Structure 1
């Protein structure tokens, strides 16, 4: 039988959602342009990461929703066991124990939970559809807090926030009562106001913050007043806000950013790549990126709204809002309104792990969209 390359490509790309793919490719092309300025020596490695992540996305898009459902519990259990193994036997680097040596290399199990957590909770609520009670939401909260607690203890606050957010979105979309949401939100706002109001007292060197390490407390305190440690923890915030502000409306031009190219801007290819984009392409460049993110999130929510069952609806909604969390936290961090917690800018920052996780999530969205188009048969 004669080989038909066109037919073969059609079969490969059949489950790929054209809207998601088009938005994602536009974002990645823009990311290549920024990366060529921020860190040209990493361009080749970044290209390899993108190709690998896109292949994984296509593989995920081909997966049946039933297969995702069957993998939810095993992946969650595996992820929790690996996190426990990290706590017991993990490799420590720069004061953090986040990696597990498996002989052929090191893995970071917390990354698995970014996908396993929403899968597990969507599976849990699907099994209880039609008979949800308060105790079911409490049980879901316990399922969520076990991995979040293990990740926060490593410590890895950025990943803990992302895993926690993914789980909370599933619980919220499952029908969590506003009677529970409003008091927790009010308590959180009150805590923020208290921290701002009593900054000088609670940020004193001898004051301990319950549940947080000293360096995490220091990050929050330097966010409130970066000048308190301008050459230490406040340096990132000060330099990134200078870069963002100096870009103006249209920016200084590609590869003409002074903060990045005179080495004032730290981590310019990873956590603070948005500052490079803002300095070189200005407010216009940032607005274009925000529009692309908005279109990606809108498409993901549309897929979630039209999903044929509770499992796929919750999973699609949580993955979509996790993309929002990535972008919101990184932009807030670079803009100096959120603490520096090590969350990359989605699809733009250098780094294979985060890019792989994000593209896997987009592939799952495509699988759910295909499931809907086929009338529930996937």
Structure 2
């Protein structure tokens, strides 16, 4: 259907027209990564669908349908829900501080009786929606350099501080970098960017000694000297490097990775699943997986670029930034280029909560494409 037809009054609101506008290429690329993840989970379980691969496929099937349904939801609904989702996420993060459930020394969950909820996952989407809505109503000057930037700065700082205090350094950095990416895309002045980088570099030593927990400092130390404690803090990185290196160019073969099959590689089904890909399929296999990730990012950014409203552009760009940061942080972590911070490889690693967040995000991205011609109000309200 042509662009001129889509701009006719009422035409783009028809359900068949919306379905025709769904981005099946993006959906297909997302499915490819999830299927590769299922295959690797089958492999690391010794050729069994239990306990990971079967659940991974079931969850993905459910979330895939949810993603496609959300893609059809009017973008005005996403716009209206931006501040409520952010506010709910912030209140839940405060609730974690007060009555949160502690596991392995970290307080990150709320016990709901029938299940546990991790509010930081809600905030990954909440911060994208809230900042996109704020900048949608801001002028170019306000987005570039203005005292009103205190508002989005506080909106970003509050969840970052709350999540870091849990402690969850990986998620707090993910939220921080996503927020900064949205602010940069919205037109933030280079003066503020340079000042921000300088401030971070200046306070980094103090944060290392007075803010980071002891185990977090050990992870930073291991980054620069992984051989110092190969059986302790450096064990994860050492085994990941062995797995990646032993795969060579073509890999050892599907199901034949010694590091994962013999349980030398820790967290082989979650945070360290990418070294398993490299061990079994070598440089070629790992490179192709990264190419698919790159194609997903490129497709999502293209959707952001064709949106006719600022909210859609920034929301799609923010979701894409979160996804790309997942890949960059996990990839750097398993290769010893960044500290171990507990960030999984999206859709490849086992884990329902992260998969749900990612799929809801892509539902929003595709909703931006389906409703790319929609004009949204600039005021504080929906209408």
Alignment correspondent of 2:364:
364
Alignment correspondent of 2:110:
100
Q: 1:251 and 1:46 mapped to 2: Cα distance?
A: 24
User: Would you say the 8 A contact 1:222–1:228 is kept in 2?
Assistant: yes
User: Would you say the 8 A contact 2:106–2:166 is kept in 1?
Assistant: yes
Aligned to 2:209, what secondary structure does the other structure show?
A: coil
Aligned to 2:331, what secondary structure does the other structure show?
A: helix
Alignment correspondent of 2:64:
54
Aligned to 1:209, what secondary structure does the other structure show?
A: helix
Q: Give the alignment partner of residue 26 of structure 1, picking from 25, 32, 35.
A: 32
Deviation at 1:246, TM superposition (A): 0.6
Alignment correspondent of 2:289:
289
User: Would you say the 8 A contact 2:64–2:359 is kept in 1?
Assistant: yes
Q: 2:314 and 2:308 mapped to 1: Cα distance?
A: 11
Q: 2:198 and 2:240 mapped to 1: Cα distance?
A: 31
Structure-1-length-normalised TM-score:
0.89
Deviation at 1:377, TM superposition (A): 6.8
Q: 2:244 and 2:108 mapped to 1: Cα distance?
A: 32
Over residues 210-231 of structure 1, what are the superposed CA-to-partner deviations in whole Å (9 max), with x where a residue is unaligned? Answer: 2211111111111111122211
User: Would you say the 8 A contact 2:109–2:118 is kept in 1?
Assistant: yes
User: Would you say the 8 A contact 1:129–1:310 is kept in 2?
Assistant: no
1:152 aligns with 2:164: yes
Alignment correspondent of 1:219:
219
Q: 2:112 and 2:38 mapped to 1: Cα distance?
A: 33
1:376 aligns with 2:382: no
Alignment correspondent of 2:155:
143
User: Would you say the 8 A contact 2:186–2:314 is kept in 1?
Assistant: yes
Gaps of 5+ in 2: 1-14, 377-383
User: Would you say the 8 A contact 1:98–1:108 is kept in 2?
Assistant: yes
Count of equivalent residues? 356
Q: 1:328 and 1:320 mapped to 2: Cα distance?
A: 12
Deviation at 1:12, TM superposition (A): 9.2
Using a 3 Å threshold, how does the CA distance of structure 1 residues 277 and 10 change in structure 2: closer, same or farther?
farther
Q: 2:149 and 2:208 mapped to 1: Cα distance?
A: 32
Alignment correspondent of 1:180:
192
Deviation at 1:130, TM superposition (A): 4.4
Deviation at 1:43, TM superposition (A): 1.4
Using a 3 Å threshold, how does the CA distance of structure 1 residues 13 and 38 change in structure 2: closer, same or farther?
farther
Using a 3 Å threshold, how does the CA distance of structure 1 residues 107 and 271 change in structure 2: closer, same or farther?
same
1:117 aligns with 2:127: yes
Of stretches 216-225 and 48-57 in structure 1, the one that deviates more from structure 2 is 48-57
Over residues 107-140 of structure 1, what are the superposed CA-to-partner deviations in whole Å (9 max), with x where a residue is unaligned? Answer: 1111000100010011111122345142222221
User: Would you say the 8 A contact 1:56–1:356 is kept in 2?
Assistant: no
1:71 aligns with 2:81: yes
Over residues 247-298 of structure 1, what are the superposed CA-to-partner deviations in whole Å (9 max), with x where a residue is unaligned? Answer: 0100000011111111100000000000100000000011101111111111
Which residues of 2 match residues 287-366 of structure 1 at below 5 A? 287-366=287-366
Of stretches 65-74 and 98-107 in structure 1, the one that deviates more from structure 2 is 98-107
User: Would you say the 8 A contact 1:316–1:365 is kept in 2?
Assistant: yes
Q: 2:244 and 2:200 mapped to 1: Cα distance?
A: 28
User: Would you say the 8 A contact 1:98–1:154 is kept in 2?
Assistant: yes
Over residues 70-121 of structure 1, what are the superposed CA-to-partner deviations in whole Å (9 max), with x where a residue is unaligned? Answer: 0011111111111101100111111111111223322111100010001001
Deviation at 1:170, TM superposition (A): 1.2
Q: CA RMSD in A?
A: 2.1
Deviation at 1:14, TM superposition (A): 4.2
Using a 3 Å threshold, how does the CA distance of structure 1 residues 35 and 146 change in structure 2: closer, same or farther?
same
Q: 2:213 and 2:290 mapped to 1: Cα distance?
A: 33
User: Would you say the 8 A contact 1:308–1:376 is kept in 2?
Assistant: yes
Of stretches 32-41 and 309-318 in structure 1, the one that deviates more from structure 2 is 32-41
Q: 1:303 and 1:324 mapped to 2: Cα distance?
A: 15
Gaps of 5+ in 1: 1-8, 196-201
